[in-house]
Structure 1
Amino acid sequence: MEKDALKKTVFRTYPLNDDEWDAFANCWHPVRYKRKTVLTRAGDIEHYLYFVEDGVQRAFYLSEDTKETTLVFSYTGSFSGVVDSFQLQQPSRYYLETLTNSELLRISYPDFTRLLDEYPRIERWVRLASAQVLAGLLERQIELATFTAEEKFRILLTRSPHILQLIPQKYLASYLGLDPATFSKLLKLVRL
């Protein structure tokens, strides 16, 4: 069983011993999806947590006037899924879709909760990983609420310089809370 990228990502947050890692790794199963596949719909309960082996996904909110707002991207080497719906087993308010053909590993909610019950160190890893995600989301909230369009754009390209090659500009503009024309203008004006 390979799962080297998953192991590297998990151990970067909190290393597990061999027995814990084996139990954890055995619960992740490969799946493949074509581009533009909706994995989770608003109103559905998320049954899986994903790890991205290859591909790009996005979570987005669809308002009553059908305006899409991109919330987060996931790509190779990261976790994906509607995590709040997954962990709380409540209906999702968001959609999760693949932007490209995607090869993922996934773990089911029953396997996930069993691991947390049986392995305190895996539960600790989830707690630490969740705290890291929360810290990132709070930082992003500050950026969205207080930074100028150009500052948000510069931060995105500094943090993820490869993102322009992976994700269509309309989704990046939505993610930054910008209209596509402003994003296009910044793309021409800003040099890093």
Structure 2
Amino acid sequence: MEITLLQQFVQQISPLPQEELERFTANWQPLTVKRKTILTAAGETERYLYFVLEGVQRAFYIGDENKEATIVFTYPPSFSGVADSFLTQTPSLYFLETITASRFLRLPYDEVEAMRKSSPLIQQLLFKATAFALKGALQRHIELQCFSNEEKFKTLLKRSPHILNLVPHKYIASYLGMDATNFSKLLGSVKI
């Protein structure tokens, strides 16, 4: 069942023939973790590509005076992990943490890389997944730079309407680039 969910997700990104699909999904291993588990710490190199089955995670950066900035949320069905660290095999600048208890399938970098090198179709899948992640990151950059707080909030709710019920509001405020007090005021004033 879990592999079937992964296969369905993969087929939406870049359809693979059955043989290649089975090859790509054959060695993923299950992982279950509690809430507030650090999967990858700043300074570590991401070793796994994750597929989220259950739960919510966040990537966050710790800046000056230990101020946290939430970069991204992941939840099912999606890939997860510190993408730039994984793809470049360099130390991460930020943390990946579970917000809730979470279940994943995960695949080590070496196995992903071996498949990428030996299969043009899997290479294309990984390229498309990376392209979609880049597209999302660039869209988010525009939102942070150009949108008002209200526009950022409405855009988030349009993209992920369930997020208010899944994620503590302090993390959403951080994700939107505002302090918790302003987020609270916004939450009370914007019609949802």
- The alpha-carbon deviation at position 2 of structure 1 amounts to 4.5
Q: Secondary structure at the match of 1:100?
A: coil
Quote the residue 1:11 is aligned against. 11
Instruction: Report 1:1-192 matches (<5 A).
Output: 2-192=2-192
- The alpha-carbon deviation at position 124 of structure 1 amounts to 0.4
Scaled by the length of structure 2, what TM-score is found?
0.97
- The alpha-carbon deviation at position 79 of structure 1 amounts to 0.9
Residue type at the aligned position of 1:71? I
Unaligned runs of 5+ in 1: none
Q: Secondary structure at the match of 2:134?
A: helix
Deviations 1:29-71 (A, max 9, x none): 1001000000100000110010000001000001132110000
Question: How far apart in 1 are the matches of 2:125 and 2:80?
Answer: 16
Residue type at the aligned position of 1:74? T
Scaled by the length of structure 1, what TM-score is found?
0.97
Unaligned runs of 5+ in 2: none
Q: Give the fraction of aligned pairs with identical amino acids, expressed as a percent.
A: 51
Q: List structure 1 segments (4+ residues) > 2 angstroms apart after TM superposition.
A: none
Q: Secondary structure at the match of 2:71?
A: strand
Q: Secondary structure at the match of 2:77?
A: coil
Question: How far apart in 2 are the matches of 1:27 and 1:115?
Answer: 11
Deviations 1:85-112 (A, max 9, x none): 1111100001000011100000101100
Q: Secondary structure at the match of 1:121?
A: helix
Residue type at the aligned position of 2:129? A
Question: How far apart in 2 are the matches of 1:188 and 1:2?
Answer: 39
Q: Secondary structure at the match of 1:153?
A: helix
Q: Secondary structure at the match of 2:185?
A: helix
Q: Secondary structure at the match of 1:65?
A: helix
Residue type at the aligned position of 1:180? A
How many residue pairs match? The answer is 192
Task: Report the aligned-residue RMSD.
Answer: 1.0
Residue type at the aligned position of 2:126? V
Question: How far apart in 1 are the matches of 2:2 and 2:189?
Answer: 44
Question: How far apart in 1 are the matches of 2:159 and 2:103?
Answer: 24
Which stretch has the larger CA shift, 66-75 or 8-17? 8-17
- The alpha-carbon deviation at position 178 of structure 1 amounts to 0.8
